[in-house]
Each structure stands twice: as structure tokens, then as C-alpha cells.
Amino acid sequence: MFIRKMENKDIAGCAEILCAIYNNELWMCRWDKETAIEYLNDFFENKKFVGYVAEENN
């Protein structure tokens, strides 16, 4: 596994994961991809935000 600093290009993939995790009865949330992208962009555009992504080695 490889961990690296999050880049703008990662937002769409992270939004898909957010939707997959939070769209269930436990969280009682309804996320669509567009809303998740907007939400993640709000964080990403904050100058103090630091995010990381984990990728499997290919």
C-alpha cells in the first residue's frame, strides 16, 4: 500500500467512497456523488487542509 498527499484529481474517487460508506441506515445519510464532490472540495480548497489517499501497489 502506498500513502500519498491528496490531490485535486482524487476528489471524485473519494466522493464515491464517501457515498458508499455513508449511504446506509447506520449513518441515516443520503449522499449523491455531486454533493459529496462539493463537500470534499470545500475541505480541499481550505489552505490549512491536508488530506491523504491510500493506493494499492500495482
18-37: pLDDT as tens digits: 999 999 888 888 999 999 99
What backbone phi and psi angles, to 5 degrees, belong to 40? -70, -35
Strand partners of residue 20:
none
pTM: 0.84
Q: Residues 30, 47, 35, CA angle at the centre, nearest 5°?
A: 15
Instruction: Report helix angle 11-22 to 33-44, nearest 10.
Output: 120
Domain definitions of the chain by residue range: 2-55
* Under 8 Å between Cβ of 13 and 51: no
Looking at residue 56, its amino acid is: E
pLDDT category, 57, cuts 50, 70, 90?
Answer: confident
Q: What Å distances lie between residue 34 and 4, 46, 54, CA to CA?
A: 24, 19, 22
